Structures are given as C-alpha cells and as structure tokens.
Amino acid sequence: MIYNISMKLEHLMENEAAVKILNQQFPGLLDKASENAQALKLSVEQMVRYARIPQAEELLAGLDAQLQELNTPENALSPSEAKQIAFFRTIAKRDEEAAREKKNRSGEKSHVQDAVFPGQPWLDTQGERIQAHGGAVYYEDGIYYWYGENKTYTDGKNGIWTWGIKVYASRDLYNWEDLGYLIPPSPEDPDSALFPAKRVDRPHLIKCENTGKYVCWIKLSGPEAAFTIWQADELLGPYEQVENLYNPGGHKVGDFDLIVDEASRKAYLYFDADHASMLCMELTDDYLHAEREAGKSYRDLTPPFTREAPALFEANGRKYMVTSGMTGYIPNQSDAAAADGWEDEFTSIGNPHIQDDSHASFNSQISKIFRVAGKENCFIAMADRWIPSYPVDARIADLFTRVIAGRYDPKHYQATEEERQEMYAANVLEEADTSVADYVWLPLQIEAPDAEHPQGRVCIEWKDEWRV
C-alpha cells in the first residue's frame, strides 16, 4: 500500500494511524464519506476537493506529507491487498495452465476468416476471443502486432481490471495469432501499476530511433491518474519498467495517444490533462518522458463535452485527431479535428461517423487509427464496444448528454430524476463485464475540402463486413 492523498478512502480506512491523521486534518470528512459507499471509492484528494474545503490545497500538501510517513515495511501490505493477492494467485495458476494448453495447440488453426466483421466477436486463430482492448497496432517487417488490455478475467465482480497487456500477430489483418503477453500482470505487487486491481488502460507503443528501443506508455486511471512507462530492446520484450507512476508536468492524466512526426521524428504525447484540455507535450529524445508543453486543444470544456480517447494520424502532411466525449463506458459522439502541425491548436471539422443513427460512434469508442502498410491513404479506425449488451440509441445518447451536462450547465440541459437514475444504473464501470467486449474496426477516409466542408472531412462509414 502506498500512502498518499491519491489513495482511496476505503483503503485508508484499513489503517488506524491513517484514519487518525485524516480526522485531524479534515474533521468529519470521513464520517461524511462513509454515508455513501461510492464516496469511499474516491481518493482522499478527490473527496477533499468535492467537499470544497477552504485552503484545501495547502491542507492537502500537509496531509500528503504525513500520510507518506506511513510508507514503512510494516504498512506495505494492507489486509485487503493480502486477500487480493491470494485470489490473484489462483487466477495466475489458471492463466498459466491455459497458456500451456494453448501452446500445445500452437500448430492448430481452428478459426480462419477472410474479412473484418465489426461488432461481432473476433476470435484468434485458435478460436478464442481476442483480448487486446483499448488497443493499438504496430507494424514491422510485414507483420501487424495488435496489443491491448487483457480482459479475460474482468467479470465486473472479482476486482480484476486488466490482467496484463496481450499481443497478437497477423499478416492480413483478419487472422490473429495469440503471442501471449507483451507485458505480463504483477499479481504479487499491489504497488505496481500492473497489479490486476489497478486500472491500466490504453497502451501505446513507439520505437525510438535514437536508442533503438521500443517504448510503451500505459495509462493508469482511477485515483492515481498517471502513466507507467516501459521499454525493451525487442518488440515482443521483455519490457523493463522506467516509471511506475508518472505525471508529466504534475498533471492528472486521462486517455492519451503517442505520435511520431513523419518528417522530424520528434515524438509527441497528447493526453486529457486534468479534464481541462487536450494537452500536447513533446517527448524527450529517448521517448521516456515529456519535457515541454507544446500546445493545447479543446480548452475549457466540461463533461460530457470534455474530450478524451485521442487517436492521432497524419495524411498528406495534414495532422488529424479523433476524440470522444466523456461518458465512461457508454459510447458517445466522436469529433474529428485537424491542424497544420502537431504543436498547433486543432480545429474541429465535425463528427466522423457519418449516417450514425445511434449518435454514439456506431456504439463504440476509438482507441487507435493506423495506416495500412503500403497504402498511402488507407486508414483503419479500431474501436471497442465495451458493453455489447447495452446498445446505445439516439434517445440514450441524448439522455446521457443532458444528465451529465446538467451538472455544469443546468440552464441549458435538464433531465428528470427518472432519467438520472437510468444513467446511473447503466454507467457503473466497476460492475461492467468487459471480458465479452467486442471490437468495431472500420475503414477511415479523408475527403478533400469542398463548399460544405472547407477544411475537408474525416469519414467513417458503417459496414457489416469489409476487406482491406
């Protein structure tokens, strides 16, 4: 257990000394939080800010220093963490047995397909669900590598968020062979970002020409809101950790993407910074840290209009970014934006999902846009359909918009109490069974400027099946 103001209240309550410190600094705060089970899942910092306590920042700094004094060997493992580790050991044993069995069948190909079928269960070459969510694709030497979050054991009840980062390989973009783990989980170390109970999301991999190493950034959502950074000499690893909890510029981090400029080879990090803007930072020469704020886009927005899930790409020298709004696992309407340079502010050019009656990006959230090798202007938008059992239509999309926006702008967005309860019941992340989440991969096209769209247009059109 790491004691600081980023820890959850429910974890702090397991230590009497921590409870005493909090009660001394913020009398009554813990009692107030205990009245609501959901409040106990907030971090200490979040609860203090929501309570709007005067001089909160100064008091939080003092609290943080006192809590960190509790980081001793005696306090290294809390009772809840010991219980989690015991459970994760049983899962690790099951996972090892499944991997051995799959390796014994490595020569078998029980599933073959010749097209992409968006929204349908996608199986690997041995007929098992592909587990590479919030994922991306890296191309090298004629092979595409699809990597992402392993949700095999994420049933919404057992406390597992992500069981390591899986990787698959394909030459045709249809049939994918399971290669195991790009970065395995850390089921024995509750302070590791790869501990299965931590909210590891959306890995992104780039190669640094200066060092020859492969660099993988992964977002850790939840109270920590930080990055974990890894590097390796080979694409498939083994990867070594460079940073466990890293907050560039001191920002709390949300969804992100990495991009390497095709001409200069400079690398940039784009991320939802403090839910206040889409921040661009230039990476260091080794791609392991962010050293300079280079630009901002989508400033001063509030949920659900705050932008997240950025997906960056370059076409004909023009820079593009597609983002989603902020509604959790429930999908919403995407927005495409364009700029002349990576350090310029991006300008919205509209919703890329054309003829989308769901108003929810064809019931999906984009995680990456990549170019098909050898085809200059052939792009694929890869996305997740996190909760296939809860299809979003225009009514639900509108309901979510009004309920969330009404918190910040009640004058223009109203919702009934029944509508609020409907949204709250549908949008509980901790209870989502994402082991059965599906993928929505669709071709993306760039349309030239015309009278109606003077800056051009990014277009993603629905197809029940399609071929590269």
Full DSSP string of 46-83: HHHHHTT-TTHHHHHHHHHHHHHTT-SGGGSS-HHHHH
Mean pLDDT, rounded, for 368-386: 95
- Give the residue numbers spanning the domain of 53: 9-76
Q: Is residue 427 part of a domain?
A: no
Q: Write the single-letter amino acid at 404.
A: I
User: Averaged over 115-126, what is the pLDDT?
Assistant: 97
pLDDT at 430 over 70: no
pLDDT exceeds cutoff 70 at 424: yes
The CA distances from residue 61 to 68, 81, 245, 247, in Å, are 11, 26, 18, 17
Whether 275 and 204 share a structural domain = yes
Q: Which two tokens stand for residue 445?
A: 């096209």
Residue 318 maps to a domain:
yes
Domain check: are 65 and 198 in the same one? Answer: no
* Runs of H (alpha helix) within 183-284: none
Is 30:19 a contact under the CB 8 Å cutoff? Answer: yes
Q: Within a domain: residue 23?
A: yes
CB 457 within 8 A of CB 349: yes
Segments of 84-164 assigned E as strands: 133-140, 143-149
CATH number, domain with residue 252: 2.115.10.20
Summarised one tens digit per residue, pLDDT across range 231-248 is 999 999 999 999 999 999
pLDDT greater at residue 42 or residue 181: 181
Q: What is the mean pLDDT of the chain?
A: 94
For residue range 299-346, list pLDDT tens digits in order: 999 999 999 999 999 998 899 999 999 998 889 999 999 999 999 999
User: Measured on CA atoms in the order 386, 129, 167, 223, is the torsion positive or negative?
Assistant: positive
DSSP designation for 345:
P
Question: Which is more confidently placed, 181 or 33?
Answer: 181
Interval 28-43 mean pLDDT: 87
Q: Is residue 175 part of a domain?
A: yes
Mean per-residue pLDDT, 201-227: 96
With respect to residue 343, please indicate whether it lies within any of the assigned structural domains.
Answer: yes
* 454 vs 269, more confident: 269
Is 456 domain-assigned?
A: yes
198 shares a domain with 123 = yes
51 and 151 share a domain?
no
Mean pLDDT of 64-80: 92
Model pLDDT, residue 153 = 97
With respect to residue 400, please indicate whether it lies within any of the assigned structural domains. no
54-63, 177-186, 399-408: which has the minimum mean pLDDT? 54-63
Cis peptide before 304 (omega within 30 of 0): yes
Record the tokens describing residue 125, joined without a space.
């070459």
Residue 225 has pLDDT above 90, yes or no: yes
The structure tokens 């080794």 sit at: 286
- Overall average pLDDT of the 155-165 stretch: 95
Judge if 277 and 132 occupy the same domain. yes
pLDDT of residue 428: 67
So what's the pLDDT on residue 429? 60
Note whether 124 and 66 are same-domain residues.
no
Q: What is the mean pLDDT of residues 89-117?
A: 92
Cβ atoms of 281 and 268 within 8 Å: the answer is yes
pLDDT above 90 for 82? yes
Q: Which of 76, 102, 124 is the last residue of a domain?
A: 76
Same structural domain for residues 173 and 58? no
Q: Are residues 69 and 134 in the same domain?
A: no
Tell me the backbone φ, ψ of residue 307, rounded to 5 degrees.
Answer: -95, 140
Residues 72 and 135 in one domain: no
196-231 core/surface letters (b: 16 or more CB in 10 A; e: else): bbbbbbbbbbbebeeeebbbbbbbbbbbbbbbbbbb
Same domain, 35 and 152: no
Per-residue pLDDT band at 106 (split at 50, 70, 90) = confident
Q: Which alpha helices (H) appear in 255-391, and where do they start and end?
A: none
What pLDDT is stored for residue 46 in this prediction?
A: 87
Is the pLDDT score of 114 beyond 90?
yes
| Residues 365, 359: Cα–Cα separation, whole Å | 12
pLDDT for res 256:
98
Secondary structure of residue 21 in the 3-state scheme:
helix
- Confidence at 376, pLDDT banded by 50, 70, 90: confident
Number of structural domains in the chain? 2
Residue 427: pLDDT over 70: no
Residues 185 and 253 in one domain: yes
Q: How far is CA 92 from CA 84, 157, 187, 363, 462, in A?
A: 12, 17, 8, 33, 39
The answer to whether the predicted template modeling score (pTM) of the entire model surpasses 0.85 is: yes
Q: Give Cβ neighbours of residue 263 (< 8 Å, ≥ 6 apart).
A: none
Query: Is residue 94 situated within a structural domain?
Result: no
Same structural domain, 255 and 380: yes
Cβ atoms within 10 Å, residue 107: 6
